[in-house]
Amino acid sequence: MKTVQEEILYRSLRLPHRPQGKLVLLVLDGVGDIATAETRYRTPLEAASTPNLDKLAQNSAMGRMTPLLPGITPGSGPGHLGLFGYDPAVFRVDRGVIEALGLDLDLRTEDVAARANFCTVSAAGIVTDRRAGRIDSGLNRVLCEKLGAIGRIGETEVIVRHGRSHRFVLVFRGGGIAGPLPDSDPHRTGLPIRPIVADTRDGRVRRAAEVIAGFYRQAMPLLADDFPANGFLLRGIGSLPRIPGFEERFQLKAAAIARYPMYRGLAQLIGMRTLKVARDIGEQFRQYLDEFDGFDYFFIHVKGTDMAGEDGDFEGKVAVIEAVDRALPILMQKRPQVLAVTGDHSTPVALKSHSWHPQPVLLNSPVSGSDGLSRFTETCANRGSLGVFQSKYLIRLMMANAGLYGKFGA
Amino acid sequence: MKTVQEEILYRSLRLPHRPQGKLVLLVLDGVGDIATAETRYRTPLEAASTPNLDKLAQNSAMGRMTPLLPGITPGSGPGHLGLFGYDPAVFRVDRGVIEALGLDLDLRTEDVAARANFCTVSAAGIVTDRRAGRIDSGLNRVLCEKLGAIGRIGETEVIVRHGRSHRFVLVFRGGGIAGPLPDSDPHRTGLPIRPIVADTRDGRVRRAAEVIAGFYRQAMPLLADDFPANGFLLRGIGSLPRIPGFEERFQLKAAAIARYPMYRGLAQLIGMRTLKVARDIGEQFRQYLDEFDGFDYFFIHVKGTDMAGEDGDFEGKVAVIEAVDRALPILMQKRPQVLAVTGDHSTPVALKSHSWHPQPVLLNSPVSGSDGLSRFTETCANRGSLGVFQSKYLIRLMMANAGLYGKFGA
């Protein structure tokens, strides 16, 4: 069935009432993993001591989720859009937008955002190092201030925000511009910086290309003496996508309890209210208790599992899982009507990166049923009643468990 | 998502490099089976002694695959096209084309090919034996030479190529003709040979029908004295389909190590290089060792499991599985980076035919992870991390395991 048809169907069955209890999506980012000989055939979830999650699992339905399609590894943006019930193949967010949101830039619909790298350019204009020798963040800051002094190109304001190492973000604001535009990054050394050219007749996109070209003309001379950071490359140039708001789409008032900018940014993108940045998972769960009455749906995000996976740190990943498990009783002080625990994708320790392996998911409610499985692990989830399904359906299952869908047909 | 959109998505994520190791698809044709009271609730895979496959299974991800859709039983053509990553509902190949390719006939786009059987016809023109008493291959050869002497029908060249027993292939070449056409085979005895009639206004197809009817008029009198092979039946009459080449589609250089004409033909159809016909699975694995450096992807086909299934021969199927298992260490002398072991469909002994039951699949690579299952069997596969999925995705998973896909989104 086409995505649009599905959405119409689900919408037509949505009962008008608010849920009686709360729906909670607890994301342990990248929690899914693989068992290998090196890990003595255990995953971090299997190795961790998780008495509270175990008890939950024994009363839950379980399964595994494919973020998009078999074999496809998602970035964090598509991974989370799927969990929020947006097909990641349909709703795409340009990288520049995610980066800008991640640096807490308050993007507007008239903005065009780009992910930027300082790079090294030869006298002949050839890119010789796409990362400018990975200059340190301090120099980055100085260079970004220099570029920020440009201020405007015609009607368009230019905002320059430094990131880590050689990375920064450019936001072009106003003046009737729009993305997306192709990268100026040639994606390998030995080639010149690619001129920004619009491959569309859309006047707003063509204007954005002219503005960015104008910015390049003023900015490159300013960097002339800053070897190895005497140039910059742009990628993922785009505007805020038109994504239907979460509350409108699901008739659920939602709050995001996330500590990292990118996930806060993604949540804001779909209109979730973001609560203030907490110190740790215990405080995140207490925020849930404090805000319990104000929302129907809570997205609680834990980053540590993904970071440990990216670092290849098995014990670190185990420790984050155990910390979440220890804190879980705080959440349970006001037990959610429906609780889903999962990842946005797998980040196996053995791969040190996101992967395509389906992530395990646990779904608990008074009507979830129990699959008779003892723990929240990959191998238990393989035997669960939910099977392997696309993650965009998780919210539908959560809503069904909350009694929010009527019967289809007589 | 539509097939076309999916393909664009996968293509956009294909990294440009060749795989570091080899991708191997080992097909035990029709290996999937069902446990019944008659088999003491074991399948051939469960009854077989397979120490080498067991060891592999313990380090693999497993699941089951649906060739097309639930309840649909595929022929060998669609079964294999799925395994090669071509949606069998989209890419259709007439059986005559497959048989012709399998007999090493170098088909051209202006050809129409038909699968043919010698049959027995009564004086009244009624088919009394659709296989002419399964005449021997020597007589077949003589009769095919007789029919080959016809040479031309009008502008169209006629090529007659003998096969085994009562089977042969007809290729009509040139003269502005095209398929597909309905069978002349009535598909049961007691009926006359069906006249070849085009059910389309396409002039090329109508011309092909006239050519074949003309051939029948000349050929039947030539066979009049050759009882029981005094007639012939045509099936799967068609032209070469337009199928994108495997190498172009996946950027993988592929070799087929198959002993039977049909599977060689299918492989050739998508541009795989076919290696010379081996005597047994041991020699097939040695061919893989010999050709290791020349290809990225190897398709290795074992027919015996399907034949035993079709014969209802439980012990025979077990024996073929055990023979493959004994030979497996030869393959492992140069361990594939990614190895998939599966069938193109199930051929349950109890059914003596192909079936719709999802076939088990084992996927092994350094990053496949282990599902903690002890053997490559149907019941173990049911508990694997891959779940039940359409077989067209297998190659995507193999390619992901080989590190050939980039990340989707940021």
Q: Shortest CB distance from A382 goes to which of B384, B407, B410? A: B384
Q: Shortest CB distance from A73 goes to which of B371, B386, B407? A: B407
For residue A32, name the pLDDT band (cuts at 50, 70, 90). very high
* In the predicted structure, residue A52 carries a pLDDT above the cut 90: yes
Rounded to an integer, what distance in angstroms lies between the CA atom of residue A34 and that of residue A45? 10
For residue A242, name the pLDDT band (cuts at 50, 70, 90). confident
Phi-psi region at A372: left, alpha or beta (left = phi > 0; alpha = psi -120 to 50) = left
What residues of chain B lie within 8 A of the CB of A74, using their CB?
407-409
Q: Strand B359-364 relative to strand B61-66: parallel, antiparallel, unpaired?
A: antiparallel
Count other Cβ atoms within 10 Å, centred on residue B8.
12
Do the Cβ atoms of A358 and B6 come within 8 Å?
no
Q: Closest approach of chain A CAs to the CA of B387, in angstroms?
A: 6
Let me know: does A216 contact A199? Beta carbons within 8 Å: no
For residue A262, the model assigns a pLDDT of 83
Helix/strand/coil (H, E, C) string of B101-137?
HHCCCCCCCCEEEEEEEEEEECCCCEEEECCCCCCCH
In eight-state DSSP terms, residue B377 is S
Report the complex ipTM: 0.87
Residues in chain B, total: 410
For residue A164, the model assigns a pLDDT of 83
For residue A101, name the pLDDT band (cuts at 50, 70, 90). confident
* In the predicted structure, residue A274 carries a pLDDT above the cut 80: yes
Start-end of H helices in B14-90: 44-47, 51-57, 76-83
Rounded to an integer, what distance in angstroms lies between the CA atom of residue B88 and that of residue B83? 9
For residue B92, the model assigns a pLDDT of 87
How much is the mean pLDDT over chain A? Answer: 95
Do the Cβ atoms of A76 and B410 come within 8 Å?
yes
Of residues A152, A132, A153, the one with CA closest to residue A143: A132
Let me know: does B84 contact B395? Beta carbons within 8 Å: yes
pTM: 0.89
For residue A81, the model assigns a pLDDT of 96
User: Cα angle at B77 between B361 and B65, to 5 degrees?
Assistant: 20
For residue A409, the model assigns a pLDDT of 92
Count other Cβ atoms within 10 Å, centred on residue B4.
10
Side-chain-facing half-sphere of B258: CA atoms under 13 Å = 29
Mean pLDDT, residues A2-27 taken together: 94
For residue A9, the model assigns a pLDDT of 96
If you search the block for the tokens 């040139």, which residue do you land on? B174
Of residues B218, B216, B217, B260, the one with CA closest to residue B234: B216
Which residue type is seen at A394? L
What residues of chain A lie within 8 A of the CB of B406, using their CB?
73
Per-residue pLDDT tens digits of chain B, which is 410 residues long? 677 889 999 999 999 999 999 999 999 999 999 999 999 999 999 999 999 999 999 999 999 999 999 999 999 899 999 999 999 999 988 889 988 987 878 888 899 999 999 999 999 999 999 999 999 999 999 999 999 999 999 999 999 999 989 999 999 999 999 999 999 999 999 999 999 999 899 999 999 999 999 999 999 999 999 999 999 999 999 999 889 999 999 999 999 999 988 898 899 899 999 999 999 999 999 999 999 999 999 999 999 999 999 999 999 999 999 999 999 999 999 999 999 999 999 999 999 999 999 999 999 999 999 999 999 999 999 999 999 999 999 999 999 999 999 999 87
Q: Three-state DSSP class for B54?
A: helix
For residue B305, the model assigns a pLDDT of 98
Q: Shortest CB distance from B407 goes to which of A75, A99, A350? A: A75
What residues of chain A lie within 8 A of the CB of B383, using their CB?
379, 382-383
- Residue A278 corresponds to which tokens in the numbers above? 């907490």
Q: How far is CA A154 from CA A212, A409, B391, in A?
A: 11, 58, 55
Do the Cβ atoms of B370 and A35 come within 8 Å?
yes
Count other Cβ atoms within 10 Å, centred on residue B352.
13
For residue B148, the model assigns a pLDDT of 97
For residue B106, the model assigns a pLDDT of 83
Q: Shortest CB distance from A382 goes to which of B366, B371, B397? A: B371
Let me know: does B375 contact B81? Beta carbons within 8 Å: no
H or E element in which residue B289 lies: helix B281-291
If you search the block for the tokens 């368009």, which residue do you land on? A156
